[in-house]
Chain A
Amino acid sequence: QQQVKQSPQSLIVQKGGISIINCAYENTAFDYFPWYQQFPGKGPALLIAIRPDVSEKEEGRFTISFNKSAKQFSLHIMDSQPGDSATYFCAASGTTGANNLFFGTGTRLTVIP
Protein backbone atom coordinates (compact mmCIF):
# COMPACT_ATOMS: atom_id res chain seq x y z
CA GLN A 1 0.00 0.00 0.00
CA GLN A 2 1.45 3.31 -1.11
CA GLN A 3 1.43 5.63 1.91
CA VAL A 4 2.22 8.71 -0.17
CA LYS A 5 0.88 9.21 -3.70
CA GLN A 6 2.80 11.50 -6.04
CA SER A 7 1.98 13.00 -9.42
CA PRO A 8 2.87 13.54 -12.18
CA GLN A 9 5.32 10.77 -12.95
CA SER A 10 7.21 13.04 -15.33
CA LEU A 11 7.16 16.75 -16.09
CA ILE A 12 8.70 18.86 -18.84
CA VAL A 13 8.94 22.59 -18.21
CA GLN A 14 10.42 25.45 -20.20
CA LYS A 15 13.29 27.36 -18.62
CA GLY A 16 11.87 30.16 -16.48
CA GLY A 17 8.55 28.39 -15.98
CA ILE A 18 6.96 27.03 -12.81
CA SER A 19 7.23 23.32 -11.98
CA ILE A 20 4.48 21.91 -9.78
CA ILE A 21 4.53 18.44 -8.20
CA ASN A 22 1.70 17.15 -6.03
CA CYS A 23 1.48 14.61 -3.23
CA ALA A 24 -1.30 13.18 -1.10
CA TYR A 25 -1.29 11.08 2.06
CA GLU A 26 -3.80 9.23 4.19
CA ASN A 27 -2.12 8.71 7.56
CA THR A 28 -3.13 11.59 9.85
CA ALA A 29 -0.23 10.70 12.17
CA PHE A 30 2.21 12.09 9.61
CA ASP A 31 3.56 15.44 10.73
CA TYR A 32 6.75 15.96 8.77
CA PHE A 33 6.73 16.40 4.99
CA PRO A 34 10.08 16.76 3.21
CA TRP A 35 10.93 16.96 -0.45
CA TYR A 36 14.06 15.32 -1.79
CA GLN A 37 15.97 15.95 -5.02
CA GLN A 38 17.89 13.09 -6.59
CA PHE A 39 20.34 13.21 -9.47
CA PRO A 40 21.27 10.03 -11.37
CA GLY A 41 23.67 7.85 -9.42
CA LYS A 42 23.32 9.91 -6.24
CA GLY A 43 21.35 9.53 -3.04
CA PRO A 44 18.35 11.78 -2.38
CA ALA A 45 19.20 15.19 -0.94
CA LEU A 46 16.83 17.14 1.30
CA LEU A 47 15.47 20.16 -0.54
CA ILE A 48 12.85 21.64 1.76
CA ALA A 49 10.49 20.38 4.46
CA ILE A 50 7.33 21.50 6.20
CA ARG A 51 5.39 20.64 9.33
CA PRO A 52 1.58 20.95 9.50
CA ASP A 53 1.56 24.04 11.71
CA VAL A 54 2.16 26.20 8.61
CA SER A 55 0.45 26.20 5.23
CA GLU A 56 3.38 27.39 3.17
CA LYS A 57 7.16 27.49 3.34
CA GLU A 58 9.50 29.19 0.91
CA GLU A 59 13.23 28.74 0.46
CA GLY A 60 14.62 30.60 -2.51
CA ARG A 61 12.89 29.35 -5.66
CA PHE A 62 11.32 26.38 -3.85
CA THR A 63 7.95 26.57 -2.08
CA ILE A 64 5.93 23.92 -0.30
CA SER A 65 2.18 24.43 -0.05
CA PHE A 66 0.42 22.30 2.56
CA ASN A 67 -3.32 21.64 2.88
CA LYS A 68 -3.94 19.73 6.10
CA SER A 69 -7.67 19.25 5.61
CA ALA A 70 -7.18 17.79 2.13
CA LYS A 71 -4.07 15.85 3.22
CA GLN A 72 -2.18 17.19 0.25
CA PHE A 73 1.07 19.05 -0.24
CA SER A 74 2.89 20.30 -3.26
CA LEU A 75 6.28 21.57 -4.39
CA HIS A 76 6.53 24.64 -6.58
CA ILE A 77 9.80 25.45 -8.33
CA MET A 78 9.76 29.03 -9.57
CA ASP A 79 11.93 30.20 -12.48
CA SER A 80 12.85 26.59 -13.28
CA GLN A 81 16.40 26.11 -14.59
CA PRO A 82 18.03 23.28 -16.58
CA GLY A 83 20.09 22.48 -13.46
CA ASP A 84 16.83 21.64 -11.67
CA SER A 85 16.40 18.63 -13.98
CA ALA A 86 16.30 15.70 -11.54
CA THR A 87 13.90 13.31 -9.89
CA TYR A 88 11.91 14.77 -7.01
CA PHE A 89 10.41 12.71 -4.20
CA CYS A 90 7.90 13.79 -1.62
CA ALA A 91 7.90 11.95 1.67
CA ALA A 92 6.09 11.86 4.98
CA SER A 93 6.74 10.61 8.47
CA GLY A 94 5.45 10.81 12.00
CA THR A 95 7.70 12.14 14.72
CA THR A 96 6.52 10.02 17.60
CA GLY A 97 8.43 6.78 17.90
CA ALA A 98 10.26 5.57 14.83
CA ASN A 99 10.25 8.31 12.22
CA ASN A 100 11.02 6.37 9.07
CA LEU A 101 10.11 8.23 5.90
CA PHE A 102 7.52 6.96 3.45
CA PHE A 103 8.39 8.14 -0.05
CA GLY A 104 6.28 8.89 -3.09
CA THR A 105 7.11 7.23 -6.40
CA GLY A 106 9.01 10.23 -7.75
CA THR A 107 8.63 12.83 -10.49
CA ARG A 108 11.24 13.14 -13.20
CA LEU A 109 11.54 16.83 -14.02
CA THR A 110 13.14 18.00 -17.25
CA VAL A 111 13.70 21.72 -17.75
CA ILE A 112 14.37 22.57 -21.38
CA PRO A 113 16.37 25.67 -22.32
Chain B
Amino acid sequence: EAEVAQSPRYKITEKSQAVAFWCDPISGHATLYWYRQILGQGPELLVQFQDESVVDDSQLPKDRFSAERLKGVDSTLKIQPAELGDSAMYLCASSPALDDGYTFGSGTRLTVV
Protein backbone atom coordinates (compact mmCIF):
# COMPACT_ATOMS: atom_id res chain seq x y z
CA GLU B 1 0.00 0.00 0.00
CA ALA B 2 1.34 3.43 -0.96
CA GLU B 3 2.46 5.64 1.91
CA VAL B 4 3.28 9.27 2.60
CA ALA B 5 6.93 9.36 3.67
CA GLN B 6 8.15 11.85 6.25
CA SER B 7 11.55 12.47 7.79
CA PRO B 8 12.95 12.73 10.32
CA ARG B 9 10.62 10.79 12.65
CA TYR B 10 11.91 12.66 15.67
CA LYS B 11 13.74 15.97 16.05
CA ILE B 12 15.04 17.71 19.14
CA THR B 13 16.24 21.25 18.65
CA GLU B 14 17.18 24.16 20.82
CA LYS B 15 15.11 27.29 20.96
CA SER B 16 16.08 29.83 18.25
CA GLN B 17 17.59 27.18 15.99
CA ALA B 18 16.34 26.36 12.51
CA VAL B 19 14.63 23.05 11.77
CA ALA B 20 13.28 21.48 8.57
CA PHE B 21 10.94 18.59 7.84
CA TRP B 22 10.57 16.68 4.61
CA CYS B 23 7.56 14.99 3.04
CA ASP B 24 7.24 12.75 -0.02
CA PRO B 25 3.57 12.28 -0.92
CA ILE B 26 2.03 9.28 -2.61
CA SER B 27 3.07 9.22 -6.24
CA GLY B 28 0.63 11.11 -8.44
CA HIS B 29 -1.07 12.96 -5.59
CA ALA B 30 -1.43 16.58 -6.64
CA THR B 31 -2.59 17.94 -3.28
CA LEU B 32 -0.27 18.06 -0.28
CA TYR B 33 -1.03 19.29 3.24
CA TRP B 34 1.04 20.11 6.30
CA TYR B 35 -0.79 19.82 9.62
CA ARG B 36 0.41 20.47 13.16
CA GLN B 37 -0.88 18.33 16.01
CA ILE B 38 -0.25 19.48 19.56
CA LEU B 39 -0.31 16.64 22.09
CA GLY B 40 -3.87 15.81 23.08
CA GLN B 41 -5.45 17.85 20.29
CA GLY B 42 -6.64 17.31 16.74
CA PRO B 43 -4.45 18.23 13.75
CA GLU B 44 -4.68 21.82 12.46
CA LEU B 45 -3.87 22.84 8.91
CA LEU B 46 -0.73 24.89 8.36
CA VAL B 47 -0.50 24.94 4.56
CA GLN B 48 -2.05 23.28 1.53
CA PHE B 49 -0.47 22.88 -1.92
CA GLN B 50 -2.04 22.04 -5.24
CA ASP B 51 0.91 20.88 -7.34
CA GLU B 52 3.55 23.55 -6.64
CA SER B 53 1.09 26.33 -5.79
CA VAL B 54 -0.06 27.31 -2.31
CA VAL B 55 -3.85 26.98 -1.98
CA ASP B 56 -4.18 27.97 1.68
CA ASP B 57 -1.51 29.20 4.09
CA SER B 58 -3.75 31.40 6.19
CA GLN B 59 -2.85 29.53 9.41
CA LEU B 60 0.90 29.39 8.74
CA PRO B 61 2.88 31.71 11.08
CA LYS B 62 4.79 33.28 8.24
CA ASP B 63 7.19 35.22 10.44
CA ARG B 64 8.93 31.94 11.32
CA PHE B 65 7.43 29.18 9.18
CA SER B 66 7.95 28.58 5.47
CA ALA B 67 6.89 25.78 3.15
CA GLU B 68 7.77 24.92 -0.40
CA ARG B 69 6.94 22.32 -3.00
CA LEU B 70 9.16 23.45 -5.83
CA LYS B 71 8.53 20.72 -8.41
CA GLY B 72 5.07 19.80 -7.25
CA VAL B 73 6.25 16.53 -5.73
CA ASP B 74 8.02 16.48 -2.36
CA SER B 75 7.79 19.31 0.13
CA THR B 76 9.80 20.94 2.93
CA LEU B 77 8.47 22.75 5.98
CA LYS B 78 10.94 25.00 7.80
CA ILE B 79 10.83 26.77 11.13
CA GLN B 80 13.31 29.52 11.90
CA PRO B 81 13.73 30.35 14.70
CA ALA B 82 12.09 27.55 16.62
CA GLU B 83 10.20 28.43 19.80
CA LEU B 84 9.20 26.27 22.77
CA GLY B 85 5.55 26.43 21.68
CA ASP B 86 6.42 24.79 18.36
CA SER B 87 6.83 21.42 20.07
CA ALA B 88 4.28 19.20 18.33
CA MET B 89 3.77 16.48 15.76
CA TYR B 90 4.05 17.78 12.20
CA LEU B 91 1.96 15.70 9.83
CA CYS B 92 2.05 15.64 6.07
CA ALA B 93 -0.89 14.32 4.03
CA SER B 94 -1.62 13.96 0.33
CA SER B 95 -4.63 13.35 -1.89
CA PRO B 96 -5.15 12.79 -5.61
CA ALA B 97 -7.22 15.96 -6.01
CA LEU B 98 -8.88 18.71 -3.99
CA ASP B 99 -12.10 16.78 -3.40
CA ASP B 100 -10.60 13.39 -2.52
CA GLY B 101 -9.98 11.92 0.89
CA TYR B 102 -6.39 12.00 1.97
CA THR B 103 -3.63 9.88 3.51
CA PHE B 104 -1.41 10.99 6.38
CA GLY B 105 2.22 10.15 6.95
CA SER B 106 3.52 9.03 10.35
CA GLY B 107 4.66 12.55 11.18
CA THR B 108 7.73 14.24 12.65
CA ARG B 109 7.71 14.67 16.42
CA LEU B 110 9.45 17.98 17.19
CA THR B 111 10.67 18.86 20.66
CA VAL B 112 12.08 22.34 21.22
CA VAL B 113 14.22 22.69 24.34
Contact = CB atoms under 8 A, between A and B. Distances in A.
B56 A98 contact: yes
Given A44-B43, A103-B43, A98 B55 contact: yes
A32 B56 CA distance: 18
B31 to A, nearest CB: 8
B35 to A, nearest CB: 8
Contacts, number: 54
Interface in B81-113: 91, 93, 98-99, 101-107, 109
Contact of A105 (B41, B103, B106): B41
Main secondary structure of the interface of A (DSSP, over half): loop
Interface string B35-75: 00000111111001000000110000000000000000000
A101 to B, nearest CB: 7
B87 to A, nearest CB: 15
A41 B41 CA distance: 14
A103 B56 contact: no
A60 interface: no
Contact of B106 (A4, A43, A101): A43
A95 B42 contact: no
B33 interface: yes
Given A42-B106, A97-B98, A103 B42 contact: yes
Contacts of A100: 33, 45, 48, 56
A97 B104 CA distance: 20
Interface size class of A (residues with CB under 8 A): 20 to 34
A94 to B, nearest CB: 9
A44 B91 contact: yes
Nearest to B98: A99
Given A43-B107, A46-B103, A98-B48, A104 B42 contact: yes
Nearest to B3: A43
A19 B76 CA distance: 39
A106 B41 contact: yes
A39 to B, nearest CB: 10
